[in-house]
């Protein structure tokens, strides 16, 4: 019986050949290669640097769409004005889950008066304009039916409007004070002042609440058209951080999937119903270890043996 080989002596001098090795040179080469690779991958796969959509860019690019949205905010017929909680107490505007009206239970937490917040208050902050001040006073003093007549006439004439140096010129009509009000609001928006006015609101110190400008943007067609061009609409499975075909929040597919199928696709209560469905699915996922039959599926499917096949092959041999 031959003796077991002895362990090598780690303290003994190395008997083999020696090769000169330049550690600094290797570090520099690796740094240059990695930097070049990072730059190349950044150029090929980086996120797009698109300019943000603001009320100013909207008013400059499509003043007709801006004015159409603004006049619906003034007469209270916009989507936001009729949305219901948490922005307004519009009757029968809430989404329900059967008899449960969760939206109404939550109540109006972010009250928005579209006429005041989006038109009258910003225009009231424009100084040294007696004509605008008189128009605002005339509009606010008029009865509601006369206000509706003015805004209705203005809205009907907008498709025929033309713009000369940013000033809307409409056919002759009975617009009352609405015409100078809308012209002044368009000028304020194109200058960027309306963005600041809506962000600041009644809180002049911390200008970080973008709820009002975002809701205003959502009422027009310009924002939606730009989202469609970047494949970001809900029907385009576009809920992601980045635009175009770049990878984003892929984990949201399970939530957005339900908006593409019946009965949720055309349901007026889609948001509430999908919220409830995702709650049930999430609860079921959490309870998998406690559901008989489901918790033993891995044992019956034996997928784990395919993943760890080397381990089980060695154990069996």
Q: Are residues 150 and 236 in the same domain?
A: no
Is the per-residue pLDDT at 33 higher than 70? yes
Alpha helices in the chain (DSSP H): 23-45, 55-61, 63-75, 102-106, 114-115, 121-124, 130-141, 144-157, 178-190, 193-200, 211-218, 221-229, 253-257, 270-286, 297-301, 303-307, 309-316
pLDDT given for residue 55 in this prediction: 94
Q: What is the pTM of this model?
A: 0.71
Q: Are residues 153 and 262 in the same domain?
A: no
C-alpha distances in Å from residue 86, one per residue of 102, 109, 115, 162, 277: 11, 5, 17, 37, 22
Q: Are residues 216 and 84 in the same domain?
A: yes
Q: What are phi and psi of 100, to 5 degrees?
A: -85, 120
174 vs 181: CA distance, rounded Å? 14
Mean pLDDT, the chain, integer = 85
130 vs 23: CA distance, rounded Å? 77
Structure-model confidence comparison of residues 90 and 80, the more confident one = 80
Question: Which contacts (CB < 8 Å, 24+ apart) does range 198-202 have?
Answer: 198/55, 198/117, 198/118, 198/122, 201/117
Q: Which residues pair with 240 in a beta bridge?
A: none
pLDDT given for residue 310 in this prediction: 85
Spell out the residues 6+ positions from residue 108 whose beta carbon is closer than 8 angstroms to its own: 85, 86, 87, 88, 89
Is the per-residue pLDDT at 257 higher than 90? no
Q: Are residues 129 and 235 in the same domain?
A: no
Q: Are residues 194 and 260 in the same domain?
A: no
253 vs 296: CA distance, rounded Å? 27
Neighbours of 71 (CB within 10 A): 23
pLDDT given for residue 143 in this prediction: 94
**pLDDT tens digits, residue range 291-302?**
888 888 888 888
pLDDT given for residue 230 in this prediction: 77
Burial of 290 (0-12, 13-18, 19+ CB in 10 A): exposed
Question: Highest mean pLDDT: which of 95-99, 263-267, 283-287?
Answer: 283-287
Domain boundary among 181, 207, 225: 225
Is the per-residue pLDDT at 103 higher than 90? no
Q: Are residues 168 and 264 in the same domain?
A: no
**pLDDT tens digits, residue range 53-82?**
899 999 999 999 999 999 999 999 998 988
Structure-model confidence comparison of residues 220 and 241, the more confident one = 220
Q: What is the DSSP letter of 117?
A: I
Average confidence (pLDDT) over 193-208 = 76
Task: Determine which of 67-81, 175-189, 264-278 has the lowest per-residue pLDDT on average.
Answer: 264-278
Q: Is residue 105 part of a domain?
A: yes
Q: Are residues 66 and 210 in the same domain?
A: yes
Task: Determine which of 106-120, 193-207, 245-259 has the lowest per-residue pLDDT on average.
Answer: 245-259
C-alpha distances in Å from residue 307, one per residue of 287, 294, 299, 301: 25, 20, 13, 12
Q: Is residue 291 part of a domain?
A: no
pLDDT given for residue 64 in this prediction: 93
Our count of domains for the chain comes to 2
Domain of residue 281, residue span: 230-286
288 vs 64: CA distance, rounded Å? 54
Q: Is residue 123 part of a domain?
A: yes
Question: Which structure tokens are listed for 108?
Answer: 């109006």
pLDDT given for residue 74 in this prediction: 94
Is the per-residue pLDDT at 84 higher than 90? no
Average confidence (pLDDT) over 3-28 = 80
Q: Are residues 168 and 60 in the same domain?
A: yes
Quote the Cα angle for 165-169-171, to 5°: 160
Q: Are residues 84 and 116 in the same domain?
A: yes
Model confidence band, residue 92 (pLDDT cutoffs 50, 70, 90): confident
Quote the Cα angle for 200-204-205, to 5°: 115
Domain boundary among 178, 204, 225: 225
Q: Is residue 41 part of a domain?
A: no
Q: Is residue 294 part of a domain?
A: no
Average confidence (pLDDT) over 248-266 = 78
Q: Are residues 249 and 201 in the same domain?
A: no
Displacement of CA 203 from its chain's centroid (Å):
23
Q: Are residues 67 and 211 in the same domain?
A: yes
Neighbours of 27 (CB within 10 A): 10
Q: Are residues 265 and 128 in the same domain?
A: no
């Amino acid at each position: 019986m031959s003796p077991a080989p002895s362990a090598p002596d780690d303290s003994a001098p190395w008997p083999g050949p020696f090769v000169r090795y330049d550690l600094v040179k290797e570090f520099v080469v690796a740094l240059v290669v990695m930097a070049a690779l990072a730059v190349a991958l950044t150029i090929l796969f980086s996120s797009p640097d698109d300019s943000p959509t603001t009320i100013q860019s909207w008013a400059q690019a499509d003043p007709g769409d801006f004015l159409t949205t603004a006049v619906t905010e003034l007469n209270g017929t916009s989507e936001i004005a009729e949305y219901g909680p948490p922005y307004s107490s519009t009757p029968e505007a809430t989404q329900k889950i059967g008899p449960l009206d969760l939206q109404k239970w939550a109540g109006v937490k972010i009250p928005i008066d579209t006429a005041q917040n989006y038109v009258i208050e910003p225009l009231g902050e424009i100084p040294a304009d007696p004509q605008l001040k008189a128009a605002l006073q005339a509009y606010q003093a008029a009865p509601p039916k006369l206000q509706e007549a003015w805004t209705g006439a203005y809205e009907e004439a907008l498709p025929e409007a033309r713009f000369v140096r940013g000033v809307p010129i409409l056919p002759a009509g009975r617009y009352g004070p609405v015409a100078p009000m809308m012209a002044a609001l368009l000028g304020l928006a194109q200058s960027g002042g309306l963005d600041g006015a809506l962000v600041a609101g009644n809180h002049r110190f911390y200008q970080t609440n973008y709820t009002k400008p975002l809701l205003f943007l959502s009422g027009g067609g310009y924002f939606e058209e730009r989202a469609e061009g970047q494949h970001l609409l809900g029907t385009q499975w576009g809920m992601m951080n980045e635009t175009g075909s770049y990878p984003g929040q892929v984990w949201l597919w399970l939530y957005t999937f339900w908006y593409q199928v019946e009965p949720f696709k055309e349901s007026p209560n889609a948001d509430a119903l999908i919220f409830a469905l995702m709650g049930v699915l999430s609860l079921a996922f959490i309870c998998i270890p406690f559901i008989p039959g489901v918790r033993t599926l891995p044992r019956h499917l034996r997928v784990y043996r395919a993943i760890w096949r080397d381990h089980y092959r060695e154990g069996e041999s």
